[in-house]
Amino acid sequence: MGRAIKAEIQKLMTTRLWWGMAIALFLCGALFALLFGSISQTDSDQEGVPTFTPLQIAINTYTTGVGFGYVFLMVIGIMTIGSEYRHKTITGTLLAEPRRPVMIASKVIALLGFGVLYGLVFLAGSVITGATILSARGMQAFPEAGTLTRSLLLVLLVLGLWALIGLGLGVMIPNQVAAILVGVGIAFILEPILSVVGTLIDGGRDVVKFFPSQATNAVLGGYNGDPESVMLNWWQGTLMLLLYAAVFVAIGTWLTNRRDVT
């Protein structure tokens, strides 16, 4: 297992993908922190405009970009296995480690590690930029430090779990391009449409809150823009993301054991 994990880390580190994604995540965190930190306000005279507490402003400023950041991690998860099928290196991987569950497990551990790494890069961009903007506007950059710190640390978990969701999706759809298109399409098109439809029907809100993006918002403690919605608790959201990741990886492992590789 140790050698298999080391091999997976080397695969990720010996291409330009890892540092390219790191730059993208840093900029993603910084740009969204700049945007949200610049427009947020603690009170409003306009009817229907939500009022944010200093804690909500800080959390949203530092974590709003995760909505795009987790898509990057999902793509990394897909490419971890998808590129092997695309470039036919999966044959060499299985010759070196013929136990397919061990191969998948090593990818899981490596991706969790990279999820933490990318999470730190993302937070570096969002916290540095966001704290600067909030302080310049005379707002609290770090209110309720305990709750805020928990939300920031959970960013690392969220990104790692989304990488595992991508890994499972990449195993289920061996074609790398198709898997990326399906994953991005679900995250940016299908799920938002279903979320809007769900809010318009009776009982729909009770289903929408279990969607991956809504579970992610719940984990981070952010504001989802709908004052009438009831989000999960942060630990419930964590369990939902864990469930999604576990199901995707389990299905992927089962399919890998049944699939012929030449």
Taking a C-beta distance cutoff of 8 angstroms, is the pair 238, 154 a contact?
A: yes
Q: How far is CA 213 from CA 33, 64, 127, 137, 208, in A?
A: 19, 12, 21, 30, 9
In the chain, which stretches have pLDDT less than 70? 42-51, 222-230, 262
| Size of the chain, expressed as the number of residues it contains | 262
Which residue's entry shows tokens 């679900």? 186
pLDDT (0 to 100) of residue 229: 55
pLDDT (0 to 100) of residue 127: 96
Which residue's entry shows tokens 């994604």? 21
Taking a C-beta distance cutoff of 8 angstroms, is the pair 31, 132 a contact?
A: no
Distance CA 65, CA 69 (A): 6
Distance CA 98, CA 89 (A): 13
133: how many CB neighbours lie within 10 A of its CB? 19
What is the rounded radius of gyration, in angstroms, for the C-alpha atoms of the chain? 19
pLDDT (0 to 100) of residue 142: 92
pLDDT (0 to 100) of residue 44: 54
pLDDT digits (tens, 9 = 90+) for 16-48: 888 889 999 999 999 999 998 888 776 654 555
Contacts of 78 (CB under 8 A, 6+ apart): 166, 167, 169, 170, 176, 179, 180, 183
pLDDT (0 to 100) of residue 209: 87
DSSP 232: P
DSSP 222: -
Distance CA 34, CA 29 (A): 9
pLDDT (0 to 100) of residue 207: 86
pLDDT (0 to 100) of residue 221: 78
Q: What is the reported pTM?
A: 0.88
Q: What is Dmax (Cα atoms) for the chain? A: 66
pLDDT digits (tens, 9 = 90+) for 50-78: 567 888 889 989 998 998 899 999 999 99
